[in-house]
Structure 1
Amino acid sequence: MQETVPNDETTHRGTKRKAEESNGASQAPKRIKALDQDVVNKIAAGEIIVAPVHALKELIENAVDAGSTSLEIVVKDGGLKLLQITDNGHGINKDDLPILCERFTTSKLKTFEDLSSIGTYGFRGEALASISHIAHLTITTKTIDSSCAWRAHYADGRLTPAKPGQSTEPKPTAGRGGTQITVEDLFYNMASRRKAFRSPSEEYAKILEVVGRYAVHCTGVAFSCKKHGESAMGISTPSNASTVDSIRQIHGSAVANELIDFQVSDDKWGFKASGWTSNANYHVKKTTLLLFINHRSVESSAIKKAIEQTYSAYLPKGGHPFIYLSLDIDPQRVDVNVHPTKREVNFLNEEEIIESICSEISTKLSQVDTSRTFTTRSLLPSAKTPVPTHSKTRAETPKSTQKQPPATPGKPWEYQLVRTDPQLRKITSMLPPSTNDASTPAPPSTTYFTSPREPTDYNYRTIKHLRAMVRDSMHGGLTAVFASHTYVGLVDFNRRIVAIQGGVKLYLVDYGMVSNEYFYQLGLTDFGNFGAIQFETPMDIRSLISIGVKHEKALGNPEDEGVPWDTVPDMVTTQLIASREMLLQYFNFEVSPEGELVSLPLLMKGYTPSLAKLPRFLMRLGPCVNWVEEESCFHTFLRELASYYTPEQLPTGVLAGDDTQMGEADGADEMKADLEARREEMSRVLEHVLFPAFKARLVATKGLLKGVVEVANLKGLYRVFERC
């Protein structure tokens, strides 16, 4: 038997090389070479044109930028065989045709600074170039002042003859004003990409979805889309159709009849939003979001999630809305060049803008008082369910084959029923009434003023790294619990425990631990843009720290032995004065040159931290904050600030200590009144300020698992009672 020894290339392909082979002294390092320009162009084309729908999106945007009022689209084999778009725009000059499909040729940008004020769909000049590298591209165009149309063929970004041996120059031909772009055999030279598509019908459905988006948004532009060789239109909207008419034509009358319009703007954040959204009478299994930012169709998981949370209070469980949202943002606040397909954009003050939009939608939903549709059935056992009749089909169908509806609807299992409607009666309503009922929010007594200071986005590497660390430590299940929880009630002030409901489960939550993490995340999110708690009379920092030192010495912790307490006030005060410019710029923590505390950072409206914790907070800013290294400084300072904002422990009884002795002490009645007022204030803050904030913005980290305990599960309780 003769054996064939494979060559070295076959031996090493797909196998791991041994150490002695990879580290051999005889092997020289491979030289670095520049890729061939044709390879570079095909790689870029594969990033920009991922599927036929992406090519069509680029062509639609170019046609709308050209001032078109009518777009006709023809598709064959899901766009892989043929993708043709015809518009009536201003056309392309014959002199521009030779460089039309070269990379980075555009009429919309001249300098890099123009990106900050871009107002058109396309701008990089890569769409047609990318298509020409992976398809056979033909362009027929006629301008208003041209006597005829011109047709040109392209391959690999350059003009190419229509047939071998012919000239590459554009040919005169008959044609109407505008441009017709024909893309044939898409991905013909990328076999692996072409095989990845499952079916032409699936790609055609994606194309109809994109055409439908732009048909809804682009008022004054007629759209039509059909399959090649068929007369029936997949989508057809006239140019004079309104936004609601287009939604009715594309998405059906069921949603169009239940739409409400909304508008919101804010010069401070530099945005203006408008759109149409479904009311509480319409819901589907999956959210439909048509989102346009500066007239560009994009996606945003943050906006989608926030809208879904807004609707969760109005729709039944599992129901989702339809929404068309057009968001205009100051171009200088938007970075459009962050994704090869321009599918995503970044903009400043994202959270504030989303909050404003969701607040306006919630207001509109609460104001709508239209008729709701319900399905009803008779509860009488002898009653017959009426069967609807149809003129032809019902009359011609024998009675024996008619499908009768079920007599009674399917009954859900009891352990699947969840009471989470905030409008229903709460536990606090069953308790004895007090002078200030915590079940209803009290009006805030604090007066707020708007600061003239403009918001600033500090994109420091250290802050980005700290934010990334929070995201990496996120616990998905616990975050979902807080995002959809229902506040049940306060359990223990001293241990800082409340009860919340998540689905069919009941949890006990250490709100001190959760508040600490939330305020730290809030500090990272709003870094450099805090409000300020202004003191009418500045307070001496040395005196405050001395109070904190006195309290620490009274505790007598063994770990504090040997600490030079007498020098702590001067050392910390000196450090705060030396860092006062940085503290004011990044944290709105103002210290005067004389060592007086002028203001503290304001993290949240509607909640003021206890001033009794202020001396210890200032004292810890010395030894517990790293003032040398930037990232560690921001991290430790925000941790101390979060600890200061965390609600304090309060005695659960009438008053701490021996009630008899305290009752005889001077000012005991005043202390009891202050303590009771603080309890009532904390009850209000927990239910109406803190936990709603946790629901909206908290990223629950894995460390919070120690502070959340499941105490009841409805399914588990049913299993227990079934055995009894």
Structure 2
Amino acid sequence: MDNSMETDEIEPRGTKRTASDAGLASSQTRRIRALDPDVVNKIAAGEIIVAPMHALKELIENAVDAGSTSIEILVKDGGLKLLQITDNGYGIDVDDLPILCERFTTSKLKEFEDLTSIGTYGFRGEALASISHIAHLTVTTKTANSSCAWRAHYSDGKLVPAKPGQSAKPKPTAGRGGTQITVEDLFYNVPTRRRAFRSASEEYAKILDVVGRYAVHCSGVAFSCKKHGDSGVSISTASSSSTIDRVRQIHGSAVANELIDFNIEDTKRLGFKASGMVTNANYHVKRTVILLFINHRSVESLALKKALEQTYSTFLPKGGHPFAYIDLEIEPNRVDVNVHPTKREVNFLNEDEIIEAICSEIRSQLAQVDSSRTFMTQTLLPGIARVPELQQQTDTPHTPIRKTGPSPSQKTYENSLVRTDSRMRKITSMLPSVTPSHHHSGAGAVSTDLAGARPEVADDGLHYETTDREALRIGLSSVKRLRAAVRSEMHNGLTELFSTHSYVGLVDERRRIAALQAGVKLYLVDYGMTLAEFFYQIGLTDFGNFGVIKLDPPPTLTELMKLGVDIEREEHQSSGSISTEEDEEIFTKAPDIVTKTLIERRDMLDEYFSIKITEQGELLTIPLLLKGYVPSLAKLPRFLLRLGPYVNWGSEEECFRTFLRELAAFYTPEQLPTPPSGEAGSVEDESVSSRRVQLAQMLEHVLFPGVRARLVATEALLNAVVEVADLKGLYRVFERC
């Protein structure tokens, strides 16, 4: 081999060369010089408009700054071919159009010191200028005092004619109030940047993320976003939508149904207010989703994200992450928004303290509702606390079994201690039995044990059989909407009260009042209102999957209706109302009309409500909502009669809602007369006495355990609960004695 042969070595790509290798040995050829303004502007544009989503973010912020209440966005090829945003804001004055796209032209900033009090989204005047250097930009705008709209075309920050040979000045045109900005062929003169985008669908997904963030945050502003050529919209929110409705529309009901609110502020020391919504322990996904707004500007914060994930690590399973919407307002003089070209990041004082305060508040809220997490449990004694089976529906409106308890690091003082162990002997077990061992009434039988033993659940007088009927999967949108309506009206504090209460006793059967203890407080509860809502929610949860109560021998609907009419007529007369011939005619015809209505709909009643009716009008079964409890069958005639005029049979959703409300009213315990005073001659009917004892047993051992396990307390139930005593308050009274 000839060693004298020379081989050419190929220099690898990316190798740094010295000045001499590059032919720049002479110092005269390396003088510093100013870049061409066109190069400067393109560099600046590349820093601010990195992708179509950044251009859209700037345009959305400008539209909101202009007082818009409606923003429409049209996208083609992921925003690279077309990006159009139309608003109904103040518009741009025609005299300002010549300098609209020049760099650092703004109506929001005059002096550098104004940065310390900036309260708008945009302020530097770079967005439109940057876009005009890397795309074809068209602006159509109309102010309120302008007789017509004006259209202008821009390139490299200057006005240009729409077609060669025409004038570059803005031209009058037809248009509505507000501004429409059209960006075409984004990055047409930066081929390297344009080739970097892999697919239009990815860019469109990023655009939807930006639109979704501002659609959630900007209350009072309607947003819509669609692809060019599509008939439907990808995002659409109304200006009147609440924040939780916006979250539901954009991120889905799975998120919206599990949100809890938080609110915290420290305006004196840290100068901030924070509010928002975060998911509870029932919801988790593979990736943390944070919608963070600082002074109403969508930003990112790695420190807050890490702190939030650390906060949730004790509440969620391994690998689970939360959803959070956080609206953080900080005094403007504590924030520097001018630290990132796209304003994606901001700096603010006391960052660590503010983040810790927010996470601490979220942690506190999670600890209060962490009891909503579901667990499979075994009751201590079979039959004492009947826990309903956990529902399979993901959107069920009830909260099943809850786990409670103070934080391990939280010190418990003596005046906060309450006996809640169900195994401890209750005072009622020390009272002797004052009733015979068995009472029989129309609703079943009641049994009590000997003094000193724990009372067992009352025998309901029924024999239960398990059938092989498969559970129906109810996918009706009307039922889902009714369930969601219950969730939207949920009152967290009241739900927590019912889920952790200890039943104290029955106070008044006539007014339907019971006493409950929650924590160190004593409450009086209208159990009539409470159980009406409870049975309505059971109706929604178990819709189409009720048990059945067989009636043997089966009564006829017509006979039951006549009994119901007699009851209505008696109440009509006892109230002092004078019955007219028209009233009597209604009373006479009602049984046949309502019977015919129910027979015509007997297939639907059987499938959804377990009410089986024969063609001849015999009532074979009624629904069983809660095992161990039988409603007063004396209320059955009136319940059936009310199914005619009080159920809206014309609309599916209203039909289900009104029917379930009537069913809940039927299942709600009836009012009982005041017990006799004990005077001579005042003897109570045996059937009423039996029902009184049975009701007391049912409330303690069946109904309120069910409420504790399943009730989602709505705001309407605030009128049903009154606080009457607070242990800590009583301690202070005793200390003064």
Alignment of 1:605-620 (within 5 A): none
Q: Kindly state the Cα deviation for residue 371 of structure 1 after the two structures are TM-superposed.
A: 3.8
For residue 335 of structure 2, what is the amino acid of its counterpart? Answer: V
- From the superposition, tell whether residues 213 and 375 of structure 1 become closer, same or farther in structure 2 (CA, over 3 Å): farther
Equivalent residue, structure 2, for 1:92: 92
TM-score (norm 2): 0.49
CA distance in 1, matches of 2:157, 2:64: 23
Q: Structure 1, unaligned stretches of length 5 or more?
A: 1-9, 378-385, 390-420, 427-438, 444-724
Alignment of 1:184-333 (within 5 A): 184-267=184-267, 268-333=269-334
For residue 350 of structure 1, what is the amino acid of its counterpart? Answer: E
Equivalent residue, structure 1, for 2:735: none
Kept after mapping to 1: 8 A contact 2:315/2:370: no
For residue 214 of structure 1, what is the amino acid of its counterpart? Answer: Y
- From the superposition, tell whether residues 315 and 25 of structure 1 become closer, same or farther in structure 2 (CA, over 3 Å): closer
Kept after mapping to 1: 8 A contact 2:85/2:180: yes
Deviation digits for residues 376-418 of structure 1 (CA, Å, limit 9, x no counterpart): 99xxxxxxxx9999xxxxxxxxxxxxxxxxxxxxxxxxxxxxx
CA distance in 1, matches of 2:19, 2:241: 70
For residue 61 of structure 2, what is the amino acid of its counterpart? Answer: E
Equivalent residue, structure 1, for 2:112: 112
Equivalent residue, structure 1, for 2:493: none
For residue 278 of structure 1, what is the amino acid of its counterpart? Answer: T
- From the superposition, tell whether residues 19 and 284 of structure 1 become closer, same or farther in structure 2 (CA, over 3 Å): closer
Kept after mapping to 1: 8 A contact 2:68/2:89: yes
Equivalent residue, structure 1, for 2:154: 154
3-state SS in 1 of match to 2:234: strand
Q: Note the aligned Cα RMSD (angstroms).
A: 3.2
Kept after mapping to 1: 8 A contact 2:73/2:84: yes
Equivalent residue, structure 1, for 2:79: 79
- From the superposition, tell whether residues 376 and 205 of structure 1 become closer, same or farther in structure 2 (CA, over 3 Å): farther
Q: Kindly state the Cα deviation for residue 31 of structure 1 after the two structures are TM-superposed.
A: 1.4
Q: Kindly state the Cα deviation for residue 372 of structure 1 after the two structures are TM-superposed.
A: 3.3
CA distance in 2, matches of 1:91, 1:136: 20
Equivalent residue, structure 1, for 2:680: none
Q: Kindly state the Cα deviation for residue 375 of structure 1 after the two structures are TM-superposed.
A: 8.4
For residue 154 of structure 1, what is the amino acid of its counterpart? Answer: Y
- From the superposition, tell whether residues 145 and 422 of structure 1 become closer, same or farther in structure 2 (CA, over 3 Å): closer
Deviation digits for residues 434-465 of structure 1 (CA, Å, limit 9, x no counterpart): xxxxx98799xxxxxxxxxxxxxxxxxxxxxx
Q: Kindly state the Cα deviation for residue 282 of structure 1 after the two structures are TM-superposed.
A: 0.8
3-state SS in 2 of match to 1:233: coil
Equivalent residue, structure 1, for 2:343: 342
Q: Kindly state the Cα deviation for residue 116 of structure 1 after the two structures are TM-superposed.
A: 0.0
CA distance in 2, matches of 1:289, 1:24: 51
CA distance in 1, matches of 2:223, 2:406: 48
Alignment of 1:368-407 (within 5 A): 368=369, 371-373=372-374
Q: Kindly state the Cα deviation for residue 33 of structure 1 after the two structures are TM-superposed.
A: 1.0
The number of equivalent residue pairs is: 384
- From the superposition, tell whether residues 192 and 25 of structure 1 become closer, same or farther in structure 2 (CA, over 3 Å): closer
CA distance in 2, matches of 1:424, 1:142: 60
For residue 367 of structure 2, what is the amino acid of its counterpart? Answer: S
CA distance in 1, matches of 2:12, 2:254: 62
3-state SS in 2 of match to 1:141: strand
CA distance in 2, matches of 1:307, 1:11: 49
3-state SS in 1 of match to 2:181: strand
Q: Kindly state the Cα deviation for residue 346 of structure 1 after the two structures are TM-superposed.
A: 0.2
CA distance in 2, matches of 1:104, 1:117: 18
3-state SS in 2 of match to 1:359: helix
Kept after mapping to 1: 8 A contact 2:286/2:319: yes
Kept after mapping to 1: 8 A contact 2:136/2:155: yes
3-state SS in 1 of match to 2:30: coil
CA distance in 2, matches of 1:440, 1:146: 65
Alignment of 1:558-597 (within 5 A): none
Equivalent residue, structure 2, for 1:58: 58
For residue 270 of structure 1, what is the amino acid of its counterpart? Answer: G
Deviation digits for residues 531-576 of structure 1 (CA, Å, limit 9, x no counterpart): xxxxxxxxxxxxxxxxxxxxxxxxxxxxxxxxxxxxxxxxxxxxxx
CA distance in 2, matches of 1:159, 1:251: 41
Kept after mapping to 1: 8 A contact 2:58/2:127: yes
3-state SS in 1 of match to 2:366: helix
Kept after mapping to 1: 8 A contact 2:24/2:30: no
CA distance in 2, matches of 1:25, 1:304: 51
Kept after mapping to 1: 8 A contact 2:280/2:370: no
CA distance in 2, matches of 1:243, 1:24: 62
3-state SS in 2 of match to 1:368: helix
Equivalent residue, structure 1, for 2:68: 68
Q: Kindly state the Cα deviation for residue 344 of structure 1 after the two structures are TM-superposed.
A: 0.2
Deviation digits for residues 618-649 of structure 1 (CA, Å, limit 9, x no counterpart): xxxxxxxxxxxxxxxxxxxxxxxxxxxxxxxx
Q: Kindly state the Cα deviation for residue 32 of structure 1 after the two structures are TM-superposed.
A: 1.2
- From the superposition, tell whether residues 370 and 221 of structure 1 become closer, same or farther in structure 2 (CA, over 3 Å): farther
For residue 100 of structure 1, what is the amino acid of its counterpart? Answer: L
CA distance in 2, matches of 1:255, 1:136: 40
Q: Kindly state the Cα deviation for residue 270 of structure 1 after the two structures are TM-superposed.
A: 0.1
CA distance in 1, matches of 2:20, 2:105: 51
- From the superposition, tell whether residues 27 and 130 of structure 1 become closer, same or farther in structure 2 (CA, over 3 Å): closer
Q: Kindly state the Cα deviation for residue 232 of structure 1 after the two structures are TM-superposed.
A: 1.1
Q: Kindly state the Cα deviation for residue 373 of structure 1 after the two structures are TM-superposed.
A: 4.5
3-state SS in 1 of match to 2:373: coil
CA distance in 1, matches of 2:260, 2:405: 23
Kept after mapping to 1: 8 A contact 2:19/2:25: no
CA distance in 2, matches of 1:284, 1:14: 41
Equivalent residue, structure 2, for 1:170: 170
